Structure 1
Amino acid sequence: MIVLRTVLACLFLELVSGSRMFKKMKKISKPTWDQFTNRQIVESSIIECSGACARMKDTCNAVHFEASNNTCSFAQLSLLEEPPEEKALSVFMKAQAFKSLEQKESFLLIGQGVDLVQSYPCNFTLPVDFYYTTGGIAVLNGKVYIYNHKTNKCYHRSMVLSGPWDEIPDCVTPARSAPDLTTVGPYIMMTGGYNGGLLDNIERFDGTTWTTLSKKLSQRTADHCAVEISYTEMIVLGGNQRWAMVEKYDVDGNMVETLPNLKIGRRYIGCGIFQGEIYAAGGGGHSSVEVYNFESRTWRMISSFKSAVQFPNLHVYKGNLIMFGISNTIEIFNGETWETASESLGKNFTNGLSVKVPCH
Structure 2
Amino acid sequence: MDWIEFESMNVGRYYFTLTTLGDKILAAGGYTPQGITATVEVFDGSSWKLQNYELTSPRHSHCSVPISESQVMLLGGYSNDNLSLVEVYSIEEGFIAELPSMPTARRGLACSMFNGEIWTAGGDNFGYQDVVEVLTPGFTNTWRSGPKLTKRRVYLTMEVLDNNLVVFGGDGGVDSLEKLEGEDWMEEPLQYGHKQHASVSILCN
> Post-superposition shift, 1:315?
1.2
Quick one: distance in 2 between partners of 1:293 and 1:255?
Answer: 20
Quick one: distance in 1 between partners of 2:52 and 2:17?
Answer: 18
TM alignment of 1:178-257, pairs within 5 A: 178-196=15-33, 197-241=35-79, 243-257=83-97
Quick one: distance in 1 between partners of 2:203 and 2:96?
Answer: 34
Q: CA RMSD in A?
A: 1.5
Quick one: distance in 1 between partners of 2:77 and 2:88?
Answer: 15
TM alignment of 1:141-180, pairs within 5 A: 164-168=2-6, 171-180=8-17
In the superposition, the TM-score normalised over structure 2's length comes to 0.90
TM alignment of 1:12-91, pairs within 5 A: none
For structure 2, list consecutive stretches of 5 or more residues without a partner in the other structure.
Answer: none
> Post-superposition shift, 1:335?
2.5
> Post-superposition shift, 1:192?
0.3
For structure 1, list consecutive stretches of 5 or more residues without a partner in the other structure.
Answer: 1-124, 126-163
Could you tell me whether the CA contact under 8 Å between 2:10 and 2:49 is conserved in 1? no
* DSSP-derived class of the 1:347 partner: coil
Q: Which has the larger radius of gyration?
A: 1
* DSSP-derived class of the 2:52 partner: coil
Quick one: distance in 2 between partners of 1:318 and 1:166?
Answer: 28
Could you tell me whether the CA contact under 8 Å between 1:202 and 1:253 is conserved in 2? no
TM alignment of 1:109-120, pairs within 5 A: none
2:130 is the alignment partner of 1:292: no
The amino acid across from 2:184 in the alignment is: T
* DSSP-derived class of the 1:273 partner: strand
In the superposition, the TM-score normalised over structure 1's length comes to 0.52
Sequence identity (%): 31
* DSSP-derived class of the 1:355 partner: coil
2:198 is the alignment partner of 1:353: yes
Quick one: distance in 1 between partners of 2:141 and 2:182?
Answer: 20
> Post-superposition shift, 1:357?
2.2
Quick one: distance in 2 between partners of 1:307 and 1:286?
Answer: 8
> Post-superposition shift, 1:232?
1.2
Matched length: 195
Q: Render the CA deviation track for 1:96-125: whole Å, top value 9, x for unaligned.
A: xxxxxxxxxxxxxxxxxxxxxxxxxxxxx4
TM alignment of 1:268-347, pairs within 5 A: 268-284=108-124, 285-295=128-138, 296-325=140-169, 326-341=173-188, 344-347=189-192
1:142 matched residue in structure 2: none
Quick one: distance in 2 between partners of 1:328 and 1:227?
Answer: 25
Could you tell me whether the CA contact under 8 Å between 1:216 and 1:253 is conserved in 2? no
* DSSP-derived class of the 1:307 partner: coil
